[in-house]
Structure 1
Amino acid sequence: MFMDFKYTRPGSKEQVQALATLSFLIGMWADFLTAEEKRMDQVMALEAGNS
């Protein structure tokens, strides 16, 4: 992504695409972390129930 900004003009198609990709990946990361938090909450509830 750095190269998309270093060697292209500001506002170019490559820069816009790189930002769109970054935004998408951050959104996917957030979705993953939300799902992981729910999964871990379920694990903790099961462990608490077995104690």
Structure 2
Amino acid sequence: MKFLFIAQRKLVILRNQDFKDINPERQIEITRHFGPIHIHPTSGECQGGSPSSR
């Protein structure tokens, strides 16, 4: 059932993950395991620059 939800909604929720102390570069490295990064046009920019510039 969970896999069907992921396939239909294109959403994965990782519980109990502590990403608040990981720097933006490491967050980008982790998320690239799931595919290309999509940056929403109105999302703004994180501290240290936009991931799209890397």
Normalised to the residue count of structure 2, the TM-score between the two structures is 0.26
CA radius of gyration, larger in:
1
Normalised to the residue count of structure 1, the TM-score between the two structures is 0.27
Higher helix share: 1
